[in-house]
Amino acid sequence: MTTADAADRPTPLSTPISAGIVASLVGFTSSFAVVLTGLRAVGASPTEAASGLLALCVTQAVGMMWLARRYRQPITLAWSTPGAALLAGTGMVVGGWPAAVGSFVTVGVLIVLTGLWPRLGAAVSKIPIPLAQAMLAGVLLPLCAAPVVAFADSPARIAPVVLVWLLVLRFNARWAVPAAFLAAAAVIAADLIGGGTPIAASDLIPRIDWTIPHWTWQATVGIAVPLYIVTMASQNIPGTTVMASFGYRIPWRASMTVTGTGTVLGAFAGGHTINLAAISAALAANPGAHPDPKRRWVAAFSAGSSYLVLALLSAALATLVAAAPAGVVETVAGLALLATLAASLFGALEHASDREATVLTFLVAASGLTFAGIGSAFWALVVGLVVRAILRRRSPATPAPDATG
């Protein structure tokens, strides 16, 4: 058989199905620890965080299965990993967990409105991307520094996790974080066995824990607004760009309606945000999933089906994370966010004209300050926008300060 004959052979259906399974496994294992960390930071109990993880899996699974089949495109959805990191950096707000849930509902409504009301989408697009990236980078910095702090406190527990991550990263970056989690799971298991700490079988069974949302202006300003901006700037807009690079035109209104509605429904069970996938979108949309672009939608449908299966692991994983020694889960989360931090820093500092504003945005976000009950992410955006506006009004005749002094 010649090479040309082999190329003409029809691609089996198992190829896009396996591509979808890989996309879901990579997306889930590389960032679920970040999700649980973020939900716990804003007040969720271990069972409420597990419920939130379950809700995110189910809503994004149903959403991408419907979109993929309806539009015959490999439209993949994901939870907002940058959004979860934002929650981890924000911490508790006035009103506690119910107020955080109320802010999730608000974000979902805003996402739906973005699809239905073009003016809102236009307003969001006017927010300078470098400032949004600088805000995200500032929020991520303490989280990405967690492995360093954890290693100093407990090198025997943290070293195996970092070493496994580094070795796998050398050969296959896609599986580095999943491998780090497996190493962390081994460390946690050894600690549980050594301490004789039992885990009840009932804690491993997935369940929905409903929360009645409550709205406070501090949560709306401190969580909902930054979470919406990060989701749009770091997920939905890049997601459409990634899909366009493979020749697909995302049905914007339908995608925003589905992800926004899914976010609202999932919020009552503790989920924070679902959106268009950005990085993992390429796994289902590239030619490796299927040579025929019209058949790659099967990969996205397969990814959605796989997330329904992974949802069954939500309670067990949340229980394992809750029982982890201090610093172990934070290390996995920090390693998982390194690539996002690098991309955010690059996007923030790419344009020299806005560097003063972006650096200040980054510093305010990284400071972790809370003022008037509102976290640093919101104030970072405010400072960045004000400084940028002032510097943009500088007279053209006035030279910029010399960075060399």
* pLDDT tens-digit readout, 69-128: 999 999 999 999 889 999 988 888 889 999 999 999 999 999 999 999 878 777 777 778
Q: Which residue has the higher pLDDT, 48 or 325?
A: 48
pLDDT of 396: 52
Please say whether the beta carbons of 326 and 341 come within 8 A. Answer: no
Q: Which residue has the tokens 């301490």?
A: 195
Between 399 and 308, residue with greater pLDDT: 308
- Per-residue pLDDT tens over the stretch 304-326: 999 999 999 889 888 888 888 88
User: What average pLDDT does the segment 169-178 reach?
Assistant: 87
- 8 A C-beta contact, residue 214 and residue 99: yes
Residue 363 has a pLDDT of 93
SS3 content of the chain, % helix, strand, coil (to 5): 75, 0, 25
Task: List, in sequence order, the alpha helices (H) in 30-95.
Answer: 32-41, 46-71, 81-90
Q: How far apart are CA 298 and CA 14, in angstroms?
A: 10
Read off the pTM: 0.83
Q: What is the mean pLDDT of the chain?
A: 86
Q: What is the pLDDT of residues 192-230, one digit of tens each?
A: 887 766 777 777 888 899 999 999 999 999 999 999 998
Per-residue tokens: 212: 């009645």
Q: Is the per-residue pLDDT at 261 higher than 90? A: yes
Residue 133 reports pLDDT greater than 80 = yes
